[in-house]
Amino acid sequence: MSDEPLLKVRDISKFYGARIGCRNVSFELWPGEVLAIVGESGSGKTTLLNCLATRLLATSGTIEYRMRDGQMRDLAHMGEAERRFLMRTDWGFVHQNPADGLRMTVSAGANVGERLMAVGERHYGNIRETAGDWLRRVEIGVDRIDDQPRAFSGGMRQRLQIARNLVTSPRLVFMDEPTGGLDVSVQARLLDLVRGLVHDLELSAIIVTHDLAVARLLSHRMMVMKDGQVIEQGLTDRVLDDPREAYTQLLVSSILQV
């Protein structure tokens, strides 16, 4: 791990009019680290994730990102073109609903290839070969390369969305309930796949989930949110095995009783 954080978040708040989305959130994310954001519905997880990924403009606070050249940059002061380039290349965003992160009416190969073209790859043969490699990697048969994602199952679509995001070797991936809409056996396989890829690629990731089992399996560290604020954070095993806040204790015990 590097001795500089990849992301430095200071006092991020987001208000929707008078309604609080999230409030005074601060943390650092380190290279290779996976952070889970957990909490009940409406606690502010998605709002925070969208602020971090610059999909929403925070009301106050700063988010700094360490670029590949080592410079820390304030994301709010980045130009639109630069920010879009960052989103297409150095970052990934995996949506809960794969249809939000895929182009449903172009082929699986093109969905993956498009991201490669965004980083300057122009050679059709190379693009197709790399797309095929990535389909294999996410356990989609290469014979499906010319099929559109609308002909895929939910699990396959989600794996394709992951391939599309990872093909450019991003350093940071945001995931919003990545296994949310899938049935339990499909979820388990997908989680295994994500865990393997995050480890092999030494990715940093921020994963929003309401499922503590997902946090346990994927994350090194977790933050528990309630009413827009982070009420507890720490190493995942510590928070889950020895929760300090009454609310976290309740969350953990309600899961264990299921």
Ligand X SMILES: Nc1ncnc2c1ncn2[C@@H]1O[C@H](COP(=O)(O)OP(=O)(O)OP(=O)(O)O)[C@@H](O)[C@H]1O
Q: Which stretch binds ligand X (CB under 6 A): 15-23, 85-93, 152-160, 215-223?
A: 15-23
Question: Which DSSP category does 153 fall into?
Answer: -
**CB of 39 or CB of 109, closer to ligand X:** 39
Count residues binding ligand X (CB under 6 A).
Answer: 12
Alpha carbon distance 35, 173 (integer Å):
11
Rounded to a whole number of angstroms, the minimum distance from the CB of residue 14 to ligand X is 8
Distance between the two ends of the chain, CA-based, in angstroms? 37
For the CB of residue 38, give the shortest distance to ligand X in the complex, in Å.
9
Least distance to ligand X from the beta carbon of 128, Å? Answer: 37
Counting contacts by CB under 6 A, is residue 185 touching ligand X?
no
Residue 46, both tokens: 């998605």
How are beta strands 7-16 and 19-29 bridged, if at all?
antiparallel
Least CB distance from residue 21 to ligand X, whole Å?
Answer: 4
209 binds ligand X per the rule CB under 6 A: no
The whole-angstrom separation of Cα 170 and Cα 167 is 8
- For residues 251, 254, 257, 258, the Cα torsion angle rounded to the nearest 10 degrees is -100
**Interaction with ligand X in 141-180: which residues (CB under 6 A)?**
none
Tell me how far the alpha carbon of residue 138 is from its chain's centroid. 16
Does the protein bind ligand X through residue 248 (CB under 6 A)? no
Query: Which helix or strand (DSSP H or E) is residue 23 part of?
Result: strand 19-29
Choose the stretch contacting ligand X; rule: CB under 6 A; options: 2-10, 38-46, 103-111, 159-167: 38-46
d(CA 50, CA 22): 11
Distances in whole angstroms, Cα of residue 34 to Cα of each of 20, 30, 64, 124, 199: 26, 8, 17, 34, 10
Please tell me the distance from the alpha carbon of residue 52 to that of residue 26, in angstroms, as a whole number.
Answer: 11
CB of 252 to ligand X, least distance (A): 17
> With binding defined as CB under 6 A, does residue 21 bind ligand X?
yes
Using rule CB under 6 A, residue 19 touches ligand X: yes
The minimum distance between CB 151 and ligand X, in angstroms, equals 29
> Which listed residue (23, 33, 46, 221) binds ligand X by CB under 6 A?
46
Which one of 41-49, 82-90, 161-169, 188-196 is the stretch in contact with ligand X (CB under 6 A)?
41-49
What residues make contact with ligand X under the rule CB under 6 A?
A: 16, 19, 21, 39, 41-47, 210
